[in-house]
Structure 1
Amino acid sequence: MSQIAYDARSTALLFVDPYNDFLSEGGKVWPFVENIAREVGLLDNLRTINRAVRDAGIQVVYVPHRRWQPGDYRCWCHPSPSQRKIMDGHHFAKGEWGGEWHPDFAPQDGDIVALEHWGSSGFANTDLDFQLKQHRVTHVVIVGLLANTCIEATGRYAMELGYHVTLVKDATAAFRREMMHAAHELNGPTYAHSIVSTAELVEALPKA
Structure 2
Amino acid sequence: MLFSPSEAANTGAGFWSSEDGWSQFDSASEFDEVVRHRIPFPKSARRDAGWVLVGSILHMALARDFSKLDAASKFDQLADRYADKVITGRSHLFDALEIQGVREDHQPGNPWGSCIEVNNEDPQVYSVYAHQIHNGEFGGVECIGDFAQHAAAVTFAAELRAAYGWPVHDYVPETSRTPRKECWLAGGLGYPSPFTHAAIAARI
- What TM-score do the two structures reach when normalised by structure 1? 0.26
Higher strand proportion:
2
Alignment TM-score, normalising by the size of structure 2: 0.27
Considering Cα pairs closer than 8 Å and 6+ residues apart, tell me whether 1 or 2 has the greater RCO.
Answer: 1
Whichever of the two has the greater Rg, that structure is: 2
